[in-house]
Amino acid sequence: MTVVQVTYTIMGERRTVEGAEGQTLLQIALDHSLPMEHACGGNGFCTTCLCRVEAGMEHLTPRSDREEGMGIDTDPQRLCCQTKLSGTGPVEVTAEEF
């Protein structure tokens, strides 16, 4: 299992945690009790998990049809519930109003 360092900035709080290849950015945040919004339960229907990828986009899965369907179609914006780790990282994201 590849362990990947993911740094989150949520509501101004910055924290680096470890995730595993194949996990979504939302799963990793919730596993570490980070307060990431996920109103639709991680199903790609609400955009409350919207983030800006500050670094490491190349270590994430390609944009999904669901993201594009929700209008999240331009880098660096991604939906954390639809975006999985696919490489060795590190990855840095900001998830807050921006």
Query: Which residues of the chain form contacts with ligand FES (CB under 6 A)?
Result: 38-40, 42, 44-49, 79, 81
CB of 3 to ligand FES, least distance (A): 24
Strand partners, 19: 4
Whether the CA torsion 27, 33, 35, 38 is positive or negative: it is positive
The beta strand positions in the chain, using DSSP E, are 3-10, 13-20, 50-55, 77-79, 91-94
Closest chain position to ligand FES (CB): 81
CB atoms within 10 A of CB 30: 16
CB of 47 to ligand FES, least distance (A): 5
CB of 78 to ligand FES, least distance (A): 10
Cα distance between residue 53 and residue 85, in whole Å: 12
CB of 46 to ligand FES, least distance (A): 3
